[in-house]
Amino acid sequence: MNNRPTQETIFSSYESDNYFERRNKRNAKLNEKKDFPMRLIELYELIPKKVLEIGAADGERLSLIAKKHNANVYAIEPSTKAISLGKKKFPSVNYVKGVGFDIPLNETFDLIIVNFVLHWVDRSNLLRTVSEIDRLLNENGYLIIGDFLPSNMSKVIYHHIKDQKVYTYKQNYASIFLASGLYHSICLITGDHASDKLVCDVNEKDRIGTWLLKKKLNEHYGKMSY
């Protein structure tokens, strides 16, 4: 029997707080003009009114969306420290402590953002996470997925944790949704992880992609006559 803790257990218990503290020390403010999810929202003139972000950190991106679109926004985040700081800085955001494969919400949304989250998910919970995202997205709603985008699936040891085998998993996560036939590809933008720039030539390690998908339950099915 495998008693190895899942990556969600590790992140929920301590590493999500550690990660947030490292990020927060860099005092990195979200650049709306460089942020790929925000750029897609603006490029396609989306006007979301109810938005969920999974792995939202302190909720800065959601706060911008709430301000620009008068939207009702929800943050799912495992880090208690991120939620605590976010409540002070961004009171327009509704914070819910949780992980992607078990989201304690029963309402649905017209936009869900999952930006640089899925590569952390333990493989035993990946399809459960996909199912939760689908459960919470309205038909004709939009899904933004941002993550690493290598040509081939790969895993990389997570060097911040020395006593556990924790990996990041890099792959095309939009393809899971597209393979169902229930999601339509609107756009993919790619660029460089280090600079957040839209550039053509990026090495495998640093290429990132951000997809905009639309959920359409029946429009992919052609009619056949017998």
196-210 residue pLDDT tens: 888 888 888 889 999
Neighbours of 85 (CB within 10 A): 17
Structural domain boundaries in the chain: 7-215
Lowest mean pLDDT among 15-19, 70-74, 148-152: 15-19
The predicted pLDDT at position 113 comes to 98
Instruction: Determine contact, residues 212/144, Cβ cutoff 8 Å.
Output: yes
Assign domain 7-215 one CATH number from 3.40.190.10, 3.90.420.10, 3.40.50.150, 3.30.470.20: 3.40.50.150
pTM metric for this prediction: 0.92
Lowest mean pLDDT among 95-99, 101-105, 194-198: 194-198
95 three-class SS: strand
The predicted pLDDT at position 1 comes to 46
Neighbours of 87 (CB within 10 A): 15
Residue 2 has pLDDT above 60, yes or no: no
Mean per-residue pLDDT for 164-181?
Answer: 92
The predicted pLDDT at position 27 comes to 62
125-161 residue pLDDT tens: 999 999 999 999 999 999 999 999 998 999 988 877 7
Neighbours of 61 (CB within 10 A): 24
